[in-house]
Amino acid sequence: MSAKRTALVISAHAADFVWRCGGAIALHQEQGVDVTVVCLSFGERGESAKLWKQPGMTLERVKAARRAEAEKAAAALGVHDLITFDMGDYPLEFTRAWKDRLVDVMRAVQPDFMLSHSSFDPYNTDHMLTTQVVLECRSTAQAWGHNPGQKVLGAPQLYLFEPHQTEQMGWKPDTFLDITPVWEKKWAAIQCMEGQEHLWHFYRNVAENRANHFTRNSGGQSGGRACKYAEGFQSIFPRTVDSL
Amino acid sequence: MSAKRTALVISAHAADFVWRCGGAIALHQEQGVDVTVVCLSFGERGESAKLWKQPGMTLERVKAARRAEAEKAAAALGVHDLITFDMGDYPLEFTRAWKDRLVDVMRAVQPDFMLSHSSFDPYNTDHMLTTQVVLECRSTAQAWGHNPGQKVLGAPQLYLFEPHQTEQMGWKPDTFLDITPVWEKKWAAIQCMEGQEHLWHFYRNVAENRANHFTRNSGGQSGGRACKYAEGFQSIFPRTVDSL
Amino acid sequence: MSAKRTALVISAHAADFVWRCGGAIALHQEQGVDVTVVCLSFGERGESAKLWKQPGMTLERVKAARRAEAEKAAAALGVHDLITFDMGDYPLEFTRAWKDRLVDVMRAVQPDFMLSHSSFDPYNTDHMLTTQVVLECRSTAQAWGHNPGQKVLGAPQLYLFEPHQTEQMGWKPDTFLDITPVWEKKWAAIQCMEGQEHLWHFYRNVAENRANHFTRNSGGQSGGRACKYAEGFQSIFPRTVDSL
Amino acid sequence: MSAKRTALVISAHAADFVWRCGGAIALHQEQGVDVTVVCLSFGERGESAKLWKQPGMTLERVKAARRAEAEKAAAALGVHDLITFDMGDYPLEFTRAWKDRLVDVMRAVQPDFMLSHSSFDPYNTDHMLTTQVVLECRSTAQAWGHNPGQKVLGAPQLYLFEPHQTEQMGWKPDTFLDITPVWEKKWAAIQCMEGQEHLWHFYRNVAENRANHFTRNSGGQSGGRACKYAEGFQSIFPRTVDSL
Amino acid sequence: MSAKRTALVISAHAADFVWRCGGAIALHQEQGVDVTVVCLSFGERGESAKLWKQPGMTLERVKAARRAEAEKAAAALGVHDLITFDMGDYPLEFTRAWKDRLVDVMRAVQPDFMLSHSSFDPYNTDHMLTTQVVLECRSTAQAWGHNPGQKVLGAPQLYLFEPHQTEQMGWKPDTFLDITPVWEKKWAAIQCMEGQEHLWHFYRNVAENRANHFTRNSGGQSGGRACKYAEGFQSIFPRTVDSL
Amino acid sequence: MSAKRTALVISAHAADFVWRCGGAIALHQEQGVDVTVVCLSFGERGESAKLWKQPGMTLERVKAARRAEAEKAAAALGVHDLITFDMGDYPLEFTRAWKDRLVDVMRAVQPDFMLSHSSFDPYNTDHMLTTQVVLECRSTAQAWGHNPGQKVLGAPQLYLFEPHQTEQMGWKPDTFLDITPVWEKKWAAIQCMEGQEHLWHFYRNVAENRANHFTRNSGGQSGGRACKYAEGFQSIFPRTVDSL
């Protein structure tokens, strides 16, 4: 904790880190926390309908387009390091090698906290599989006998960021983060996602309504703090504190 | 938030505040937080078996004994204000008047956070009823039209402290508090509970094992913080933060 | 445990003890367990549609008819003691006096186990309220300071018997009881319920299908015990055993 | 079912029926369904902070203002009948008389379906109490022996409309209703709520985002139906159908 | 939606589609919906105890017998297309190739709705794995970049049909379907399952008791519709409607 | 059931069977039940931090040390048969061959009951995977067509033993076993685990506190049975009984 703080985002598809925690990324970067983003895939098969509707489209062209968008968005947010696994999507298929690579990233980054998908998602099984694998890799990264000599991972919190239909995914936020100071960055990053323009307004609404929840939970009509944009997160592990 | 911080504990019976959050009370008092404790009853009927097994015992003598214990324990913990409602136990029966009195206390104390029982308890229905009423009174205390002119309550967190059989009560801690610095005070307070000596050792074990959980969740074998005694709490409401 | 074993059934309406645990009653009576049944009401308003559809029907005539049915069914099952509170139904309204009377019964009977309704029932709020009150009264009956001098209640298991639509009530059986030896008694008791003939066949089917579950859970195709009629129960409290 | 269809909304406070199901009301009225709205209170104490912040405000003036808003909103939505119980809020206190009156309304309206609050709401205990009482009154209204001679209630579905913080209330929608055709009416009704202007934009966002969910669930990128505004509902009871 | 309606059943073992949704199949076929059934296996290893108890039995003979039964039952129900994957059972093992084949079927059939197993089943892990894979394949079938050129799948509802022990599987029906008009067909199909005669009566009872639930939920004593046989289903996704 | 009773423990890592069910093992051995323990791995990579912190440590040396501890502990408990799969840990990877071997053990042992890990464990995915595989192998072992000729498995109960942080794992005990008579054996076995000395005291506290729960659930202040050490278990399947 004495050293530089770091964080690690594991995003199943290229755009997830933008919609779901772009504010958290930009905010922590401004606070001096280095945020590494792993994109397991570009969402090239499952989240690029607009591109595929164009005649003569190919997988490589889709991937190139989505990669460019992701890089542009990452730049807008100030991401410290964007790592693209390019492991294919719909479905993600985790071999031992992909898992080991994720363990290596966890150990190299030594994050103070991590962010990934909801634990359940009947619409998008890539999402829930990602979180399951993140937990498995967290266990492995904590194992002293895995690649002895590497620095072993501590016990970083895993925050689950907001899915598309929260209630269907059984996702319940316990933490609201005020992202008002960095909203312009998140909005710029969102607009990099040219293939999914139908979601821009949706996630703007989400940010505004989570801000309403922020105000309500910080005091409401009696001292609640003004907030214009917020993001919500669900914690997997208990916090350890010195004061309530 | 600029002014002195305060906290409010609502304890169904006289001893609950000692077993379940004595450490939190002592710790926050040392940190300059004024902690008010409301004891709704003395536990005179339902949690004083040892006294009742004595021949010729009367309700008044039991209450006097339990009150004395509670006062002694409160002193040991440095409780700012101990308020005894003396509304009878097993079962607690909340009239409009008792609820209004609790609303008055909430508004007078203006707590930054509150502590009370688990939401479910098939062994002890007083406990779950208390939490249900605390939520109702929190709503009322936030209502601008209730006793206009009084200072309206903000949105204090409600932490549920640890029940006797956590899994049967559906209680899941999301926060572990290190109470090592004040353990001696909690242990002294526990020993004030002469009528329930069979629980002293039990709650010492609880504190030790929660400390193990504290260490595990703060880093475990790789940087986990040493901790000898801890308490666990479950939050009802989301947190509002500026950093994860 | 050295003395005679006893059991206590708390039935919201007159017929519930028949459909839901008639087999358990008859079986335990044959095993020498004295089973007391408390009928809080006769189901006179809410479960007597057939009678009310007759012209000129009155509340007293409905109650008399339902009482006669309940007594006849109790005799068929060999019930040790049938206690009718006659507190009115739809809705049941529990005053302090009704609760105290139930506590008195619990203490007088000193049951080794109790049976009552599911914890949740959106179709029939009398049912879920009954279980809530049974838990409250169990707490009170265990309180040494309640009516000092009475024998205090131990910690009898509370089994929740089968509701009408199990999945909607969130009821999950953990215990299947083979009632084949007493099926004829239960079937006779069921046929006493002349006002609810549409349910006879339904509960016969239930008993047959629970027997199928009994066989499956005792070994299935490889050693499962033959069973023709069974009842299912959900336990509220953990068991304490000397062998798994 | 041959006759005119009807629906019944039970709203704890004056504005709830607007935010949470104003679209459903207006839409069904246009479809020839008579929608009756019961406002149990005006939200005069707990949901009128803006008014109470004015100097010299009185309960009667608040109630008059909120009543006027509710009537204006009801008119905008085309509500068939607006019934104000005026039973006081924060907390609602249901006596036998209030419950009987609600039963009378249910029987008089004979609704094909009903709408009310989420089953759980730690922020606002009036909301969850209302749903609990609605279920109790539905049971009573179905009881042939309650006020014999009145037409007995059938088995109308109970839809739970959207609360303020869905995930905290454990509310999960299973039905999305396209309210695009009546959005202007709902928006007009929302603007009648002068005392809660901070919520107008919030509920507009909700309607837009539920429309996105509507499109996703009706086919998404492959045939999903365009929808601009929608409302979500959770069903308590199973549906009975002749085709899936 | 203008064209012919279609449905797709995914059945882990040969007999599942008969017990669990034979009525839905026959009914929809009569309504002009083409129902395709995929049997992943014949249940040759895990659900053919009666055959295996015969001396000298071989896997091929068991499979031939179960295949013949499945074909006969499908004919009795009027199944549009019976597809047998023959991928082996206990346990099912889904390679990428099996999943791709299932995706191909989904895209070829373009079902308006699908039916499969409960989400959880500790007795039979093939069942819960099937549903998990159905959700994954539904995601893949919706991906525009998977086999570009094929018609992409929309968003068909997934109904979970009734498992053997509903409460242990956490299965909760939200839809009851009246299958009275086609009961004779279902009963004929059931009797094709010669190897599992012990289940015939069980599922007849299930159909009768679900009919009782149908009547109760459509009005009960006050207008409930008569129904002699029914099936229950749990929906995974929300419905999108124009009227409640 | 006429023959010798047997039990089977499936332990992900070498020490799990000691902490979590060492008392149950020793107690049943004393009661004449042969208990076989399968250790899937030695916990060599993930649960041997103390050893790995020594310079120059190798995987083989760690495994040898952990094997020696496990054998010594098994001897202390009187384990009938200790089978070490040595399949590697963190993560466990179950091929078809490992699963078939576990099925073979289940059929060879023909256990009256089995014990394994909690269904969920975000800290240690090996644990939850083990239970998932145990259920799958139980299904396979019950399949008459799997290795015809072998004796088919019946329907043994699966008890989930106590994990490290019960509430985080969603583990809820329904059975408390009094292990006082064999505590000295369990304590001796615990002390064999030299690499995890920091857990000795933790699990002693657990045993003492579970004993408190045993006393509470067997009668508490009114007849509860004295008990000094206990273990808790959660059952997966319903019990089949002849008496409640």
Nearest to C174 among F152, F174, F218 (CB): F174
Chain C hits for E167, CB-CB cut-off 8 Å, are: 166-167, 171-173
Q: What single letter denotes the amino acid at residue C115? A: L
Q: Please, which residues have CB within 8 angstroms of residue E114's CB and are 6 or more apart in sequence?
A: E7, E8, E9, E10, E106, E134, E138, E156, E157, E158, E159
The structure tokens 């049912």 sit at: C127
Mean predicted lDDT score pLDDT of chain F = 96
| CB atoms D45 and B132 under 8 Å | no
| CB atoms E90 and F135 under 8 Å | no
The structure tokens 């007009």 sit at: D188
Q: Which helix (H) or strand (E) holds A7?
A: strand A6-11
| CB atoms E240 and D225 under 8 Å | yes
pLDDT band at C1 (very low <50, low <70, confident <90, very high): very low
| Residue D230 phi, psi dihedral angles, 5° rounding | -145, 165
CB-CB contact of B116 with B160 (8 Å): yes
| CB atoms E145 and A59 under 8 Å | yes
- Angle in degrees, CA E174, E179, E185, rounded to 5: 140
The structure tokens 């009187």 sit at: F78
| CB atoms D152 and E222 under 8 Å | yes
**C-alpha distances out from residue C52 to B12, C91, D148, E223, Å:** 46, 17, 8, 15
Which other chains touch chain B, taking contact as 3+ CB pairs less than 8 Å apart?
Answer: A, C, D, F
Spatial CA neighbour of F38 closest among F90, F104, F93, F95? F104
Give yes or no for residue A1 having a pLDDT over 50.
Answer: no
CB-CB contact of B202 with F212 (8 Å): yes
Of residues A137 and F196, the one with the higher pLDDT is A137
* Residue B170: predicted pLDDT: 98
Q: Give the mean pLDDT of A106-118.
A: 98
Q: Please, which residues have CB within 8 angstroms of residue F66's CB and are 6 or more apart in sequence?
A: F14, F15, F42, F43, F44, F48, F51, F195
Interchain contact B164–F (C-beta under 8 A): yes
Q: Characterise A57 by phi-psi region: left (phi > 0), alpha (psi -120 to 50), beta (else).
A: beta
Give yes or no for residue B154 having a pLDDT over 50.
Answer: yes
Spatial CA neighbour of B113 closest among B33, B39, B178, B230? B33
- Predicted model pTM: 0.97
CB-CB contact of A7 with A35 (8 Å): yes
Q: Characterise E56 by phi-psi region: left (phi > 0), alpha (psi -120 to 50), beta (else).
A: left
Task: Count how many residues are written for chain C.
Answer: 244
In 3-state terms chain F splits into helix, strand, coil percentages (rounded to 5) of: 45, 15, 40
In angstroms, the CA F114 to CA F159 distance is 6
Interchain contact B236–D (C-beta under 8 A): yes
Alpha helices (H) along chain D: 16-30, 49-52, 59-77, 96-109, 125-141, 183-191, 200-217
* Residue E2: predicted pLDDT: 52
Mean predicted lDDT score pLDDT of chain C = 96
CB-CB contact of F142 with F37 (8 Å): no
Mean predicted lDDT score pLDDT of chain E = 96
Q: Give the mean pLDDT of F160-180.
A: 98
> Shortest Cα distance from F86 to chain E (angstroms)?
23
CB-CB contact of A193 with A18 (8 Å): yes
Give yes or no for residue E82 having a pLDDT over 90.
Answer: yes
pLDDT band at B197 (very low <50, low <70, confident <90, very high): confident
CB-CB contact of D18 with D190 (8 Å): yes
pLDDT in tens, D4-39: 999 999 999 999 999 999 999 999 999 999 999 999
Q: Supply the ipTM of this predicted assembly.
A: 0.96
Give yes or no for residue E18 having a pLDDT over 50.
Answer: yes
Q: Give the mean pLDDT of B148-159.
A: 97
| CB atoms C167 and E165 under 8 Å | no
Q: What single letter denotes the amino acid at residue E160? A: L
Q: Taking the alpha carbons of C133, C134, C137, C139 in that order, is the dihedral positive or negative?
A: negative
**C-alpha distances out from residue A127 to A27, A120, A200, D58, Å:** 24, 8, 20, 53
Range E52-57, long-range pairs (CB < 8 A, 24+ positions):
E52/F144, E52/F145, E52/F148, E53/F144, E57/F148
pLDDT band at E3 (very low <50, low <70, confident <90, very high): confident
CB-CB contact of C34 with C5 (8 Å): yes
**C-alpha distances out from residue A184 to A187, D202, F158, Å:** 5, 20, 55
Q: Taking the alpha carbons of A100, A105, A107, A113 in that order, is the dihedral positive or negative?
A: negative
Count other Cβ atoms within 10 Å, centred on residue F197. Answer: 11
Interchain contact B62–C (C-beta under 8 A): yes
CB-CB contact of D218 with E240 (8 Å): yes
* Residue D67: predicted pLDDT: 97
pLDDT in tens, C195-223: 888 899 999 999 999 999 999 999 998 99
pLDDT band at C3 (very low <50, low <70, confident <90, very high): confident
pLDDT band at B5 (very low <50, low <70, confident <90, very high): very high
pLDDT in tens, A8-41: 999 999 999 999 999 999 999 999 999 999 999 9
In angstroms, the CA E186 to CA E23 distance is 6
In angstroms, the CA A144 to CA A141 distance is 8
pLDDT in tens, B28-63: 999 999 999 999 999 999 999 999 999 999 999 999
Mean predicted lDDT score pLDDT of chain B = 96
Give yes or no for residue B117 having a pLDDT over 70.
Answer: yes
Axis-axis angle for helices E96-109, E125-141 (nearest 10): 60
| CB atoms C165 and E201 under 8 Å | no
CB-CB contact of D39 with D84 (8 Å): yes
Spatial CA neighbour of F197 closest among F51, F59, F64, F23? F51
Q: Which residue ranges in chain D fall short of pLDDT 50? A: 1
pLDDT band at A197 (very low <50, low <70, confident <90, very high): confident
| Residue D44 phi, psi dihedral angles, 5° rounding | -70, -35
Write out the DSSP string of A128-171: HHHHHHHHHHHHHHT-TTSSBTBPPP---EEEEE--SSTTTTT-
Radius of gyration of chain E (CA): 18
Q: Give the mean pLDDT of F210-227.
A: 95
* Residue D2: predicted pLDDT: 52
| CB atoms F135 and E122 under 8 Å | yes
Lowest mean pLDDT among C175-184, E202-211, F196-205: F196-205
* Residue B2: predicted pLDDT: 52
* Residue C233: predicted pLDDT: 98
> Shortest Cα distance from F144 to chain E (angstroms)?
5
Chain D hits for E174, CB-CB cut-off 8 Å, are: 174, 235, 238-239
Coil vs helix vs strand at F39: strand
Which other chains touch chain D, taking contact as 3+ CB pairs less than 8 Å apart?
Answer: A, B, C, E
Q: What single letter denotes the amino acid at residue F202? A: F
| CB atoms C46 and D96 under 8 Å | no
In F157-198, beta strands by DSSP E? 157-161, 175-178
Of residues E155 and C195, the one with the higher pLDDT is E155
Chains D and F touching, counted as 3 or more CB pairs less than 8 Å apart: no
Radius of gyration of chain C (CA): 18
* Residue A2: predicted pLDDT: 52
In angstroms, the CA D133 to CA D135 distance is 5
pLDDT in tens, A113-165: 999 999 999 999 999 999 999 999 999 999 999 999 999 999 999 999 999 99
In angstroms, the CA B85 to CA B82 distance is 10
In angstroms, the CA E207 to CA E232 distance is 9
In chain F, beta strands by DSSP E? 6-11, 34-39, 81-84, 113-116, 157-161, 175-178, 230-235, 239-241
